[in-house]
C-alpha cells in the first residue's frame, strides 16, 4: 500500500504546554494516577464592531478559527477583503476587520443551535446554500484513503496524547496538508477554512477528513468550503446523508483499517487498492478512538 507523505504544511504540536495540563486522580482500582487533560478556553469573536459568538476552544490558531467561523456562517464572503485580524490573549477576544461594512444583529436572532459540541451553530438560511450547488466532479481513489488514514493515525496529536478533542485534516490526493484539532469538531473545520482563505487555497481538488460524526453541519460547512469529498472515522446522521446527496458530496464514514462505508457521491470513488496490502488499525489508536470519538 502506498503511504501518504508526512510533510504537512501545518500540524498539531501536542507538546505545546498551553494545550494540556497534568491532573492527579485515581483509576478503577483506586490507585493514584496522573494524566494529561486538554485545556479549553473561551474565545469571543467580533466581526468589526459586532460581537458574534463566544466559543470554547484550545485557542492555538484564533485568527484562523475566527475567520473560518465567519466564512462558514456566511458572514464573510470568499471575495471579502479582510483588513486585519486582531487577537488579545489577555481578553480572549479576536476581532476580524473587513473593508466592507457589516451589521448582523438581525441575522444573529435567527441562529439555530446544532448537535455540535463547543457551541457549534448554524443559521437557518445556510441551508439555502445547498440549492443549485455544483461540486467538482473529481475522482477519489481508495489508495489515497488508506494512505491518508495511516498517516493521520500515526501523526503525533492531542487526540492521541490527551483525548477529549477532535481532529480535521485537509488533504490532496494522498498528501495530508493541514491538520487542526479542537475541543469541538466545528472549530477544527473553521480553522482549516480560515487557513484556506488566508492562503488562497483552491478547494476543488481537496479531501476533508474528520474524526467527528458526519452531521448536517459538517456537510453544510464542507459544501460551503467547496470541497467535494468528506471522510470520517465516525458514523453518519440521516440528515447529514440527505444533504450530502442533495449537494452531490462524496460522503465516506466509518473509515477504520480496511473498512469504510460510502453513502453519497459514490460515482467519484475509484476502487484501486488491493485490500490484501492494507493494514488494520493499530490497537493503540483503536483504544483511543473507542474512548474519544464523538
- Asked, for residue 166, whether it belongs to a domain, the answer is yes
| Segment 167-184 mean pLDDT | 95
| Segment 81-96 mean pLDDT | 96
How many Cβ atoms from other residues are within 10 Å of residue 233's Cβ? 24
From 96, 124, 152, the end of a domain falls on: 124
- Asked, for residue 2, whether it belongs to a domain, the answer is no
What is the structure's pLDDT at 116?
47
- Asked, for residue 286, whether it belongs to a domain, the answer is yes
120 and 151 belong to one structural domain: no
| Segment 136-147 mean pLDDT | 95
281 and 145 belong to one structural domain: yes
Higher pLDDT, residue 287 or 21: 21
- Asked, for residue 269, whether it belongs to a domain, the answer is yes
What is the structure's pLDDT at 289?
55
Whether 80 shows a pLDDT value over 90: the answer reads yes
What is the structure's pLDDT at 105?
63
| Segment 139-148 mean pLDDT | 96
Distance CA 123, CA 144 (A): 34
Q: Which of 131-135, 158-162, 281-285 has the weakest average pLDDT? A: 281-285
- Asked, for residue 13, whether it belongs to a domain, the answer is no
The range of the structural domain enclosing residue 51 comes to: 41-124
What is the structure's pLDDT at 128?
65
From 78, 96, 124, the end of a domain falls on: 124
pLDDT digits (tens, 9 = 90+) for 229-277: 999 999 999 999 999 999 999 999 999 999 999 999 999 999 999 999 8
pLDDT digits (tens, 9 = 90+) for 181-228: 999 888 999 999 999 999 999 999 999 999 999 999 899 999 989 999
Domain CATH code at residue 57: 3.10.20.10
157 and 91 belong to one structural domain: no
Higher pLDDT, residue 144 or 158: 144
203 and 95 belong to one structural domain: no
What is the structure's pLDDT at 160?
83
Domain CATH code at residue 170: 3.40.140.10
Phi-psi label, residue 118: left if phi above 0, alpha if psi -120 to 50, beta otherwise? left
pTM: 0.87
- Asked, for residue 95, whether it belongs to a domain, the answer is yes
What is the structure's pLDDT at 26?
97
What is the structure's pLDDT at 48?
94
Higher pLDDT, residue 288 or 146: 146
156 and 115 belong to one structural domain: no
244 and 115 belong to one structural domain: no
| Segment 8-20 mean pLDDT | 92
| Segment 58-70 mean pLDDT | 96
pLDDT digits (tens, 9 = 90+) for 100-116: 988 776 666 555 444 34
What is the count of structural domains for the chain? Answer: 2
117 and 209 belong to one structural domain: no
Whether 284 shows a pLDDT value over 70: the answer reads no
- Asked, for residue 227, whether it belongs to a domain, the answer is yes
Whether 142 shows a pLDDT value over 80: the answer reads yes
Could you tell me what percent of the chain has a pLDDT over 90? Answer: 70
**155: phi then psi, degrees, rounded to nearest 5:** -80, 130
106 and 144 belong to one structural domain: no
226 and 144 belong to one structural domain: yes
158 and 281 belong to one structural domain: yes
217 and 167 belong to one structural domain: yes
Q: Nearest-CA neighbor of 127 among 231, 217, 252, 222?
A: 217
Distance CA 221, CA 187 (A): 11
178 and 229 belong to one structural domain: yes
What is the structure's pLDDT at 130?
72
Higher pLDDT, residue 36 or 117: 36
Q: What is the mean pLDDT of the chain?
A: 87
From 124, 153, 178, the end of a domain falls on: 124
Amino acid at each position: 500500500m502506498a503511504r501518504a507523505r508526512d510533510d504537512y504544511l501545518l500540524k498539531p504540536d501536542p507538546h505545546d504546554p498551553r494545550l494540556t495540563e497534568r491532573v492527579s486522580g485515581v483509576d478503577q482500582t483506586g490507585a493514584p494516577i496522573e494524566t494529561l487533560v486538554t485545556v479549553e478556553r473561551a474565545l469571543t469573536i467580533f466581526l468589526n464592531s459586532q460581537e458574534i459568538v463566544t466559543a470554547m476552544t484550545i485557542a492555538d490558531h484564533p485568527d484562523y478559527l475566527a475567520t473560518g467561523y465567519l466564512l462558514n456562517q456566511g458572514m464573510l464572503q470568499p471575495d471579502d477583503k479582510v483588513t486585519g485580524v486582531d487577537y488579545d490573549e489577555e481578553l480572549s477576544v479576536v476581532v476580524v476587520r473587513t473593508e466592507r461594512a457589516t451589521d448582523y444583529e438581525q441575522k444573529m436572532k435567527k441562529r439555530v443551535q446544532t448537535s455540535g459540541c463547543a457551541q457549534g451553530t448554524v443559521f437557518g438560511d445556510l441551508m439555502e446554500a445547498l440549492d443549485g450547488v455544483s461540486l467538482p466532479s473529481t475522482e477519489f481513489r481508495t489508495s489515497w484513503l488508506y494512505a491518508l488514514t495511516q498517516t493521520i493515525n500515526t501523526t503525533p496529536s492531542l487526540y492521541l496524547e490527551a483525548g477529549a478533542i477532535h481532529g480535521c485534516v485537509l488533504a490532496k490526493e494522498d498528501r495530508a496538508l493541514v491538520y487542526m484539532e479542537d475541543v469541538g469538531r466545528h472549530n477544527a473545520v473553521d480553522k482549516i477554512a480560515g487557513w484556506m482563505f488566508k492562503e488562497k487555497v483552491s478547494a476543488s481538488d481537496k479531501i476533508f477528513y474528520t474524526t467527528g460524526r458526519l452531521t448536517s453541519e459538517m456537510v453544510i460547512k464542507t459544501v460551503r468550503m467547496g470541497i467535494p469529498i468528506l471522510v470520517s472515522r465516525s458514523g453518519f446522521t440521516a440528515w447529514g446523508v440527505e444533504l450530502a446527496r442533495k449537494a452531490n458530496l462524496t460522503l465516506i464514514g466509518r473509515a477504520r483499517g480496511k473498512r469504510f462505508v460510502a453513502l453519497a457521491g459514490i460515482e467519484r470513488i475509484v476502487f484501486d487498492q488491493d485490500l490484501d496490502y492494507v493494514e488494520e488499525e493499530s490497537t493503540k489508536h483503536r483504544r483511543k478512538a473507542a474512548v474519544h470519538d464523538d
